[in-house]
Amino acid sequence: MAKRRAKEFKQHKARTTSVLSNLLFAAANSPLQYPIQGFTVRPLTSTLIPGLMLHARPQKSYKVSLSVSKGVLTSGITPEGMTVRGNGETSLVLESSSLVTLNNVLAQVSYNSAVYHIHTGDLAYFDFEGHQAVFPITIKQPQVPVLYDMGTDVNSHVTVATKTFLRYPSLKRLISSIRQFYSNITVIIADDSIEPEKVTGEHIQQYIMPPAQGWFAGRNLAVSQVTTKYFLWVDDDYEFTEDTKIEKLVEIMEALPELDVVGGSVKKNQFYFTIEYEEGEEMEGGCLYRKSKGKLPPLPGFPQCFMANGVVNFFLARTDAVQKVGFDPKLQRVAHSEFFMDGLGSLMVASCSHVSIGHQPRISNKDNKDEDLYREFRRPPNSDTEFKYRLHFFKNHLKCIRFG
Looking at residue 336, its pLDDT comes to 83
**CB-based burial of residue 14 (10 Å sphere; 0-12 exposed, 13-18 middle, 19+ buried)?**
exposed
pLDDT digits (tens, 9 = 90+) for 111-121: 999 989 999 99
- Asked if residue 174 and residue 77 are part of one domain, the reply reads no
Any residues with CB less than 8 A from the CB of 51 and at least 6 apart, and which? 33, 34, 35
pLDDT digits (tens, 9 = 90+) for 209-235: 999 999 899 999 999 999 999 999 999
- Asked if residue 195 and residue 250 are part of one domain, the reply reads yes
- Asked if residue 181 and residue 267 are part of one domain, the reply reads yes
Residue 363 pLDDT exceeds 70: no
- Asked if residue 241 and residue 136 are part of one domain, the reply reads no
pLDDT digits (tens, 9 = 90+) for 10-31: 888 888 788 887 888 887 789 9
pLDDT digits (tens, 9 = 90+) for 238-248: 999 999 999 99
Is residue 2 included in any domain, yes or no? no
- Asked if residue 291 and residue 373 are part of one domain, the reply reads yes
Residue 353 pLDDT exceeds 60: yes
What percentage of the chain has pLDDT greater than the value 90? Answer: 77
φ/ψ of 151, rounded to 5, equals -80, -155
Is residue 202 included in any domain, yes or no? yes
CB contact at 8 A, 85 and 92: yes
Is residue 262 included in any domain, yes or no? yes
pLDDT digits (tens, 9 = 90+) for 289-339: 999 998 899 999 999 999 999 999 999 999 999 999 999 999 887 778 999
Residue of 91 and 404 predicted with greater confidence? 91
- Asked if residue 300 and residue 215 are part of one domain, the reply reads yes
146 pLDDT tier (thresholds 50, 70, 90): confident
What percentage of the chain has pLDDT greater than the value 70? Answer: 96
β-strand pairing of 286-292 with 298-299: unpaired
366 pLDDT tier (thresholds 50, 70, 90): low
Last residue of a domain, one of 118, 140, 162: 140
Task: Note the pTM of the prediction, 2 decimals.
Answer: 0.88
- Cα angle: 319, vertex 324, 326; to 5 degrees: 90
Is residue 165 included in any domain, yes or no? yes
Q: Which residues pair with 375 in a beta bridge?
A: none
Output the average pLDDT for the chain: 92
Q: Give residue 65's domain range.
A: 23-140
Last residue of a domain, one of 140, 164, 182: 140
CA separation for the pair 330, 15 (Å, rounded): 23
Last residue of a domain, one of 81, 108, 140: 140
Cα 218 off chain centre by = 21
- Interval 189-200 mean pLDDT: 95
44 pLDDT tier (thresholds 50, 70, 90): very high
Type of residue at 140: K
Residue 169 pLDDT exceeds 70: yes
CATH number for 58: 2.60.40
Looking at residue 219, its pLDDT comes to 95
Is residue 3 included in any domain, yes or no? no
Round to the nearest angstrom and report the end-to-end CA distance of the chain. 28
- Asked if residue 338 and residue 209 are part of one domain, the reply reads yes
- Asked if residue 158 and residue 127 are part of one domain, the reply reads no
Looking at residue 367, its pLDDT comes to 56
Is residue 16 included in any domain, yes or no? no
Nearest to 328 by CA among 316, 319, 336: 336
Looking at residue 365, its pLDDT comes to 47
- Asked if residue 219 and residue 164 are part of one domain, the reply reads yes
CB contact at 8 A, 184 and 155: yes
- Interval 37-62 mean pLDDT: 95
- Asked if residue 362 and residue 223 are part of one domain, the reply reads yes
Domain count, the chain: 2
176 pLDDT tier (thresholds 50, 70, 90): very high
- Asked if residue 327 and residue 269 are part of one domain, the reply reads yes
CATH number for 302: 3.90.550.10
Is residue 146 included in any domain, yes or no? no
Residue of 221 and 404 predicted with greater confidence? 221
- Asked if residue 313 and residue 283 are part of one domain, the reply reads yes
pLDDT digits (tens, 9 = 90+) for 84-143: 999 999 999 999 999 999 999 999 999 999 989 999 999 999 999 999 999 999 999 999
